[in-house]
Amino acid sequence: MQFVFDKTTISVNVPHAAALLGRVREKLADRRGFALATLNLDHLVKLHRSPEFRQAYAAQDMVCADGNPIVWLSRLAGRPVDLVPGSTMVVPLCRIAAQCGAKVALFGSTPAALEAAAIRLRQEVPGLIVSHQIAPPMGFDVQSEEAAHQLIQMEQDGVGLCLLALGAPKQEMLAARGRKLAPGVGFASVGAGLDFLAGTQNRAPEWVQKIAMEWAWRMLSQPRRLVPRYLACASLLPSELLRALAQRR
């Protein structure tokens, strides 16, 4: 499945969770870095608006579908992919890291959330090495010297997997910068995945997820922040449906 923005093409090149975990295993076993992004409809809105975000996304090695609209568009285009939410991949990714003996860094959120997430991950993944917990201050600039220092330090410390919980577009932009400054580190953008583990944010009940209405549950829980975002997403859907049909033809 491909999405074209001006002269930039973004491809969902990881069709399902098994393919993602297989590719990550190969990368970690060989001590090779990577950048993983999880595409959703809000990201599409940002990609249309921001050349910098497009550049960051183009630098990602792996892109999977983190939203049912992306899955539906892929089916309409005749290039179906499965739903692979970044937040649900946190524990499976850490299991592979533990099996490969790779150190894990948690980057984003708050110190308390990272500590709680680290405790939970160590409980669920025996042998996991959480070597870094980095909670940047408010207003953290991913293009700053401090960001560069953190990336270089992880590379020097032998971190294999860095879970980024900064939200879009910061996490994808930091991952893109990390591919240059920390080429041995695998960066996975997981959004609220660490906060879900820590219990500082609650995910929708499982039955809501199964009927593909998690977006509505989230919107009702944070209407002031999310209603404008979802309105922008809804306004984008008609043009993306037409593009998907064009790909099918």
Model pLDDT for residues 28-78, shown as the tens digit of each residue: 999 999 999 999 999 999 999 999 999 999 999 999 999 899 999 999 999
pLDDT at 208: 64
Q: What is the pTM of this model?
A: 0.92
Q: 183-223, pLDDT tens digit by residue?
A: 999 999 999 899 999 998 777 677 667 766 676 667 667 77
pLDDT at 166: 96
CA atoms within a 13 Å half-sphere pointing along the CA-CB vector of 184? 15
Domains in the chain (CATH in brackets) are 2-248 (3.40.50.11060)
* Strand-pair category, 8-11 with 2-5: antiparallel
What is the overall mean pLDDT for the chain?
92
Nearest residue to 171 (alpha-carbon basis) of 152, 194, 154, 187 = 187
Provide the phi-psi class of 212: left if phi over 0, else alpha when psi is between -120 and 50, else beta: left
Torsion angle, alpha carbons of 101, 107, 110, 113, to 10: -30
Burial of 62 (0-12, 13-18, 19+ CB in 10 A): buried
User: What residues have CB less than 8 Å from 119, skipping those under 6 apart?
Assistant: none
Can you read off the two tokens belonging to residue 35? 């950048």
Q: 125-136, pLDDT tens digit by residue?
A: 999 999 999 999
pLDDT at 200: 87
